[in-house]
Structure 1
Amino acid sequence: MRDEARAAVADITGRAPVEVRQLGGGDTSAAFAVRLEDGTAVFAKTAPATMPGAIEAEAASLAWLAEPDVVAVPEVFGSTERWLVTEHIAESAPTAAAAEQLGRGLAALHATGAPAFGAAPPGGPADAWIGLAPMRNEPEPDWPTFYAQHRIEPYLRKAVDAGTLSSADGAVISQVCANIDQLAGPAEPPARLHGDLWSGNVHWSAQGAWLIDPAAHGGHRETDLAMLHLFGCPHLDRIVAAYQESHPLAAGWRERIALHQLFPLLVHAVLFGTGYAAQATRAARSALRAA
């Protein structure tokens, strides 16, 4: 696959690669650090054939997040149906200063808004991906409708049909959908979201924190913050404090974290099994208690 990466990078950038180093992946999906003939360092990745539109969706997401120029996002040099080539950012240790910068930038990014809840990035497909899972971006007039119908319910059905979630636990999560208007908190305008902001998609460098691998769409800004809390993130308290200073979250946002984590937990349940199904059920119960 290294030769395929070399050819794709040359075609997209118009410059010859002189060094191609595989960073990870397998026979159908891989990532590469590439040095071009003029010394430019780029990052190249491909998606498996089982994920049609994934590269198109990621390229559109990166461009949309970069457009307001308020957060650090790798520059997209170009893409094809199978390959994406971006700026390569050297990794460094997380710092409190970079975390605070990220919090302020994330608040500014969310404030730039989106056309609607569920809106895909301009030029991006409605059928996108979050990690290895399909994700439908379908505009709706309000966040509770969008989140219940296009995030929770599709993966709830998959988890119950596969036997990963019991019918009883599925009924608990269905209660969340039935009561989501009361659980969602104060209405807010649609925010421009990263959409998959777990700690692995925050790339720390000497220049600060960068956002990578987005699943961008119009959504609720608490979703990105809840994703940062799901698996932990370095200096998370500094990120949140800086965010709050820039654009305070609505009262009760911490009690709503579980609600916003329900979708990624259901995705993980479908992809990885019953351990995440139990976490999803606990999140649903927590969301219902917070009402």
Structure 2
Amino acid sequence: MGPGELLRQARLEAKGPAQPLHGGGIARVYRVGPYAVKLAEGAPPGLFPAEAKGLAALAARGVRVPRVFHVGEEGLVLEYLPEGPTDWEALAGMLAQLHRRREARYWAEPGFLGTFPLPGREGGDWTEFFFLRCVEPLLEATWGRLGGLGPRVEALYRRPLPAEGPAPLHGDLWHGNLRFAPEGPALLDPSFFVGERGVDLAMMRLFGGFPQAFWRAYRALYPLPEEVERALPRYGVYYLLAHVHFFGEGYLGPLWKAISDS
């Protein structure tokens, strides 16, 4: 299926040619006039509906996201956000406001990290929640590729993780899921759930991370306790297991370092 066909299914007028955009390693993304059309061959059932629900959850909590015009198993039609000025302080303000929110409990609907399916879960102890919902499914999927690191990963979560309180999370906050639009920063392609803010912050530190301008502004608005800082490598293990799953054993070195730093 092409972008024009999805727009026709959505009963939206295609205004101009389809221009390919960067869409990460999973989807093909096109700009067609005011729309961003996102497609993926062989996408697992529920992938695009889960993304749309995550965008709606963030929007309901005050985060700027693209408007969703159409969602189906075949793809998404989103608002195209033009490029605007880089503003790390505004991003810090938006995320600090999100992370300061308190929800009634930890919870996650069935969803995805990339195309990897994750189960739903609700309530209970944070460390158990994080391990069973996020880490254990990826640990089982990658066990045979970990070269003996599997038991070391399991052992990380026998110690309690710090708990500031249930907060809404983007869930996959790398620089490719950030867009600086004319109205300010916007977040894309969430893996939304309610957990601890260290999960988002850990991803933001991996693979080059976000610049010091962001971290200075964020810390000024919402300081990081030392115990949360120390826990970030344990949260990062979650994302490194996903990279082992998707991209192979070249990520065992960073995984070993995260374990050692924990």
User: Common fold, TM-score beyond 0.5?
Assistant: yes
Deviation of the 1:177 alpha carbon: 2.2
Aligned to 1:9: 7
RMSD: 2.2
CA pair 50-83 structure 1, distance change in 2 beyond 3 A = closer
1:44 aligns to 2:42 (yes or no) = no
Deviation of the 1:50 alpha carbon: 4.0
2:90 is matched with which residue: 84, 101, 105? 101
1:57 aligns to 2:50 (yes or no) = yes
Stretches of structure 2 lacking an aligned partner (at least 5 in a row): none
1:166 is matched with which residue: 125, 142, 147? 147
For 1:160 and 1:270, the matched residues in 2 are separated by 10
User: Secondary structure at 1:86's aligned position in 2?
Assistant: strand
1:83 aligns to 2:75 (yes or no) = yes
Aligned to 2:228: 253
Normalised TM-score (structure 2): 0.90
Paired residues in the alignment total 261
Deviation of the 1:29 alpha carbon: 4.5
Deviation of the 1:17 alpha carbon: 3.4
User: Displaced runs of 4+ in structure 1, greater than 4 A?
Assistant: none
CA pair 93-104 structure 1, distance change in 2 beyond 3 A = closer
Aligned to 1:136: 119
1:212 is matched with which residue: 188, 197, 209? 188
User: Secondary structure at 2:69's aligned position in 1?
Assistant: strand
Normalised TM-score (structure 1): 0.82
For 1:153 and 1:16, the matched residues in 2 are separated by 43
Query: Does structure 2 conserve the Cα–Cα contact (< 8 Å) formed by 1:199 and 1:231?
Result: no
Encode CA deviations 1:254-278: one digit per residue, 9 max, x unaligned: 2222111010001111111112123
1:177 is matched with which residue: 157, 173, 190? 157
User: Secondary structure at 1:158's aligned position in 2?
Assistant: helix
CA pair 24-239 structure 1, distance change in 2 beyond 3 A = closer
User: Secondary structure at 2:65's aligned position in 1?
Assistant: coil
> Taking every aligned residue pair, what percent have the same amino acid on both sides?
31
Deviation of the 1:173 alpha carbon: 1.1
Encode CA deviations 1:198-237: one digit per residue, 9 max, x unaligned: 1111112343321111111111111111111112345x32
Aligned to 1:276: 251
Q: Quick one: which amino acid aligns to residue 229 of structure 1?
A: R
User: Secondary structure at 2:112's aligned position in 1?
Assistant: strand
Q: Quick one: which amino acid aligns to residue 35 of structure 2?
A: V
Query: Does structure 2 conserve the Cα–Cα contact (< 8 Å) formed by 1:160 and 1:170?
Result: yes
CA pair 6-115 structure 1, distance change in 2 beyond 3 A = farther
Encode CA deviations 1:130-156: one digit per residue, 9 max, x unaligned: 113222231231220111112222222
